[in-house]
Structure 1
């Protein structure tokens, strides 16, 4: 009996230890909660922003950022700005809570009561076994509009609104199958682009409508902040048959916050005419061939294409006819260029530059061959060029030229001669050539007749 009592006491103690361990684990497991409230909490004016502040808290920490979903509210615009989350630390009932806070933006478009349905935010508390989903409470708010704006389809307040439209291509040049794009751009001063209502494009009988995604952007300046918002809506129409079509006028209503009155912008209607392409078969198909079910192909071509094809064929024939002549002209031109380059390479101008380069060196071994080459290429000397004819060029400087000729002869005969400045030889020769040409121009072409 004593042994049974001992085993019974041990069993009771183990049971109490398990219960205490579970209680301790439950008390020390991470706790999580979520809170949500509206700012302001009372009625608001349609078109103004309401903040939905959501706080996620835990008794430990978050290993990852909460998953903030984007929900919808009928008749209102909901957005989650790309702002940094606010860190929280609170003491509730003696327990430390840590978390983050984000603020949604809700803009009601009309008056009435609005309900924000509950939505789940997924968090990952530290030391937890897995992610935790927290549900927000159901929240409601009411929106009103100023007197005079009750009948507006969409209440859109702004300081100033400007709307323009474009139609591309020109409505006067449209054919069946072409795309016509109608674009409407709204420019609202002091308003975010996301708050500008979209433009409703109507269907047009005979035109297929293909809407495009709207584009928005805000104009922000460093000092002034938000200046304006711009929204662009576009739609593409395609005509499936010929005829006249009218894109209806577009009416945009908005509330002027400066005058507290409703204003309307009307973009005029656009009329366009779609024409079919003029096509003609190249040849007629016999009726009996069609009746017997023979295989056939119909080739059609437009007038403009026929004109371009004729011009291309004409140009090709002209090139074929003129090819031998163009080849001959090319050969003649090439020979002329080669001959001109040869004349230039063997002419007096190049020989004169060679003489000047040799004279700068001051070496008779280089100056004398360059001098003879220049005299052979120059038209001022007879062929063959001789040194004794240098003095005939310029009688005033005959002494300098004679000295130059004697120096050349003395160089070849190894006989001493008067010293000559070889570097100044080109200057004396150029002066002599100029005077010879001037004297030749002054002489008459025919000698004077003898007078008796």
Structure 2
């Protein structure tokens, strides 16, 4: 196997790199950066009659291709209606000065509504040509056209031409049945034969004194048949009016001017005014009074039932029905409740807590002759002072308060005057201490003795 010197391998590598660079340079020279341009023209190119349609056709071209759809802008023109139909763009492919161009085309529709010269400013459109790092922008040229009015149409604003126009007015609800705060809706529908709906000017439904106006979005539609194509365009404008006070109101007549292309003259359609009265809201009686009774002056009474009262009355009736159907169970439940309440009351009257409360109340008043029966009444309810209770069972050893209490009780029964009767604080303390001692003794006696007790045998 032959081996080349390292210098020879390096030389080959340099030659190959140079060859690749040369081929890339030639490819770049053969494939220049893509070019883009925008064209625009008007159809028809000459003067037009106001009310007819003018197309602004825009072509976007590039020498490569478009990676995304262009951003078609919307714009406005004074005294004209501008629309960009939602239609598929047309594809373009043509040779210009020996170079192949590719692109798309769309048409704006402009409907002039006055006789004057219209100027269309340049449009800036963003495009996405292939072979570029990002999007680019192109501008269309400025254009203008002249719209004229036919003789006899001077002063019409706006100018609207059609071979036939019918207008319909609808009022909902009937004006005779309207109350304050209820809306009255006025709807006007225009239908123009052989004309797109976008060309029909809106019907003017303005504000009126004493009424609040709520405009609704207008609706347009084109009536198309399979063989005939566009038959007519239709536009509907609507607004609701609300009266905030009672009284009589009026919506003025609506005048619509249009140019009849068949007779070549101006025609006018006048929709009649709408008059209505708004009455204050009143409560509706439950029963209407016969007209004969009103005429004869018979005494009567108007009954008005509100929604809340009706609901409350229904709930009361439902409760009564449930009570009647369950009266046996309810009576048994009531008897058991009364019995339980009576037993609980008897237990409370015989409880130590009530006896202690009576003792405390009497002792605090300082009525000693009544305090002693209350003392025995409380002591007799327990077993801490014997059965029957005796003051001798109170442990007075080392307890001066207990000794003073016993001495006061004995002096009372002996008819002697005690040197000082104890107060409730001392009496309560003595009774609690002795009750606690007696309870501890009972608990000690209840405890079991030592287990596994054995007696030692006698010697």
* Matched residue, 1:255: 259
- Partner SS for 1:183: strand
Q: Work out the CA distance in 1 between the residues paired with 2:200 and 2:61.
A: 35
**1:222 to 2:226 alignment:** yes
* Matched residue, 2:131: 127
Q: Residues 232-381 of structure 1: matches in 2 within 5 Å? A: 232-278=236-282, 305-306=305-306, 313=313
Contact 2:283 2:304 in 1 (8 A): no
Q: Work out the CA distance in 1 between the residues paired with 2:270 and 2:47.
A: 32
- Partner SS for 1:74: coil
Aligned match of 1:194 in 195, 198, 210?
198
* Matched residue, 1:67: 71
Q: Work out the CA distance in 1 between the residues paired with 2:262 and 2:220.
A: 24
Aligned match of 1:166 in 160, 170, 193?
170
RMSD, aligned CA: 3.3
Label 1:25 to 1:266 Cα distance change in 2 as closer, same or farther (>3 A): same
- Count of equivalent residues: 289
Note the residue ranges of structure 1 that are not aligned, 5 or more in a row: 1-13, 281-301, 326-452
**1:117 to 2:101 alignment:** no
TM-score using structure 1 length:
0.58
Note the residue ranges of structure 2 that are not aligned, 5 or more in a row: 1-17, 285-301, 326-459
- Partner SS for 1:213: strand
- Partner SS for 2:61: strand
Computing the radius of gyration from Cα coordinates, the structure with the larger value is 2
Aligned match of 1:154 in 152, 155, 158?
158
* Matched residue, 2:92: 88
Q: Work out the CA distance in 1 between the residues paired with 2:163 and 2:323.
A: 73
Q: Work out the CA distance in 2 between the residues paired with 1:310 and 1:91.
A: 85
Contact 2:119 2:145 in 1 (8 A): yes
Q: Work out the CA distance in 1 between the residues paired with 2:168 and 2:223.
A: 18
Q: Work out the CA distance in 2 between the residues paired with 1:307 and 1:35.
A: 71
TM-score using structure 2 length:
0.57
- Partner SS for 1:110: coil
Contact 1:242 1:275 in 2 (8 A): yes
Contact 2:37 2:62 in 1 (8 A): yes
Label 1:303 to 1:171 Cα distance change in 2 as closer, same or farther (>3 A): farther
Of the structure 1 ranges 131-140 and 89-98, higher mean CA displacement relative to structure 2 is found in: 89-98
Q: Work out the CA distance in 1 between the residues paired with 2:304 and 2:156.
A: 53
* Matched residue, 1:420: none
Cα offset for 1:34? Answer: 0.5
